[in-house]
Amino acid sequence: MLESTVCLRDSTRMQVDPFSDVLTLTNAEAVVTGGFTAGGPWAIRFPAREKIKFFAVVKGRCWVSLDGEPEPALFETGDIGLLSVPRGFVLSSDPSVEPVGAMELFSGAGRTMATIGDGNDFAHIGGHVLLDPIRGRLFADILPQWIHARAASSHAVVFRWLLDRLIDERDEDQPGARLAAAQLTQLLFIQILRSYIDTASRMPAGWLRALADPRIAPALRLMHGDPARSWHLEELAKACAMSRTSFAFHFRTVAGVAPLTYLAEWRMHLAERALRNEKTPVAVVARSLGYTSESAFSNAFKRIKGSSPTAYRGILYASKEIASTEPLSNDVRDTTSEM
């Protein structure tokens, strides 16, 4: 059994990518929504929003003053910031400049670009990350509150190339520009996360740190590659070339949970996705995730998610009905929340 596990580890090395699994499960999608250019003294205050926001300095430099932070941070050309919590911030040519509100600057239907002064000194693009409203918590909870990805990092060449292509797609208006920009933005978001993962030793224990740890990567690939299988600690440890005790200790240190707890929680995330299909019987979902009975699956789901699969499905249907009957808000598209 242990020998076959090693073979399975090697055969799934390229096919299974746990990080991509998390991005796919949460429907994480990065969207560039606008930007601005500036010249001379300038400052803009952006309000706190319930979105994961990001922005990039395409040209020039600026100061970023986050609410609650004692000192502003200097952003150079190619630097990228990602904010995962609802905090207001100010972008400025100098922290002493009195800021104008983004609402005032970007007011106007469909307005996504603005110019301050002559616009020759500074250029910025911004956007946000869309997540599944329920399963997105898996991803939102593992992100740090703030990432400053520097152009001087080892990822600088890729950042610069992606930003240049995004600007080209925006300005040249070529056929397929909208789709190309969407794909480039997704790559930019992944690259931001990769640059952060490079600092894994400084991350708190959790999913993201676990996904970045090469020592437990073989075990993660096995569990993600076949989550329905009844994996044993010995098999997973062998795949990582570690003793059972060392593997269990190291896994808990970086992931914050025991290996088989990680597996159980990942199964329940997959179960949440499967339960969204109202035509799929709970018993079928249970079997697909390796449970021998519907009751065993229901007990596990309730223990981890706090409600039975049937109750969870009922909540989903109720929320869909409410969403379908609520009128659209006049603030459906708030440009200032997206910059």
Task: Return phi, psi of residue 157, to 5°.
Answer: -60, -45
Domain with CATH 1.10.10.60 in the chain: 2-18+206-322
For residues 304 and 264, the answer to whether their CB atoms sit within 8 Å is yes
The CATH number that domain 29-130+153-198 falls under is 2.60.120.10
259-275 and 244-255 helices, crossing angle to 10°:
50
Domain with CATH 2.60.120.10 in the chain: 29-130+153-198
Query: Which residues, other chains included, contact 213 with Cβ-Cβ below 8 Å and sequence gap of 6+?
Result: 200, 250, 254
Beta bridge mates, 74: 63
Return per-residue pLDDT of the chain as tens, 339 residues.
444 444 444 444 447 888 888 888 888 888 888 899 999 999 999 999 888 999 999 999 999 999 999 999 999 999 999 998 899 999 999 999 999 998 888 876 456 788 999 999 999 999 998 888 777 777 777 788 898 988 887 888 888 898 888 888 877 778 988 888 888 888 888 888 888 888 766 778 888 888 889 999 999 999 999 999 999 999 999 999 999 999 999 999 999 999 999 999 999 999 998 998 888 999 999 999 999 999 999 999 999 999 999 999 887 776 655 444 444 433 333 444 445
- pLDDT for position 208: 83
- pLDDT for position 123: 94
Q: CB-based burial of residue 4 (10 Å sphere; 0-12 exposed, 13-18 middle, 19+ buried)?
A: exposed
For residues 278 and 140, the answer to whether their CB atoms sit within 8 Å is no
Range 2-18+206-322 has CATH code 3.20.20.70: no
- Strand bridging mode 80-83 / 146-149: antiparallel
- pLDDT for position 319: 63
Separation of alpha carbons 61 and 123, rounded Å: 9
* HEC profile of the chain: CHHHHHHHHHHCCCCCCHHHHHHHHCCCEEEEEEEEEECCCCEEEECCCCCEEEEEEEECCEEEEECCCCCCEEECCCCEEEECCCCCEEEECCCCCCCEEHHHHCCCCCCCEEEECCCCCEEEEEEEEECCCCCHHHHHCCCCCEEEECCCCCCHHHHHHHHHHHHHHHHHCCCCHHHHHHHHHHHHHHHHHHHHHCCHHHCCCCHHHHHHCCCCHHHHHHHHHCCCCCCCHHHHHHHCCCCHHHHHHHHHHHHCCCHHHHHHHHHHHHHHHHHCCCCCCHHHHHHHCCCCCHHHHHHHHHHHHCCCHHHHHHHHHHHHHHHHHCCCCCCCCCHHHCC
The tokens describing 42, both together, are: 């300038």
For residues 72 and 65, the answer to whether their CB atoms sit within 8 Å is yes
